[in-house]
Amino acid sequence: MKITINQRFVLLVILATIFVLALLKGIMQTSDGGGLTAANSEVLINHPEVGRPDPQAASVDSGLTQPVLINSASVAEIAENLDGIGEAIARRIVRRREQQGPYQNFEQLKAVSGVGMAKIEANKLKISFEIPQSKD
């Protein structure tokens, strides 16, 4: 008995269809052997559980706080809120601000003795160059 190419193709399609149906049947069954309907079959898909974030836990865990307004912050605020910046460097930052005016960018801040690229990179997201508007 000779099988033609067309017959081989049809046989291959039939086998593939049987294989796909067997896979679908396995997917549609629960672990206890019972069947599922199409309405509740979504339950078996392995979606990660996503809960609502707890705002209090997020603020504590993420470490995100208000940025330090470098052009108006006190020595104590700068020293307490910026990593690697102690009171001595904070005093230099404030002194330079009082002498030369507000900081415009990180390059000007880097000019302060003791503030290098490593400290700027560590605090980049914690520093704001905003100048507070006076309430006139």
CA distance 38 to 127: 53
pTM score: 0.52
pLDDT 10s digits, 24-57: 887 776 444 555 555 555 555 555 566 666 655 5
CB 72: neighbour CB atoms within 10 A?
A: 14
CA distance 58 to 60: 5
41 burial (CB, 10 Å; 0-12 / 13-18 / 19+) is middle
Q: What are 128's strand-pairing partners?
A: 69
pLDDT 10s digits, 94-122: 999 999 999 999 999 999 999 999 999 99
pLDDT 10s digits, 65-87: 689 999 999 999 999 999 999 99
Confidence band for 133, pLDDT divided at 50, 70 and 90: confident
Specify the DSSP class assigned to residue 70.
Answer: T
CB 115: neighbour CB atoms within 10 A?
A: 22
106 burial (CB, 10 Å; 0-12 / 13-18 / 19+) is middle
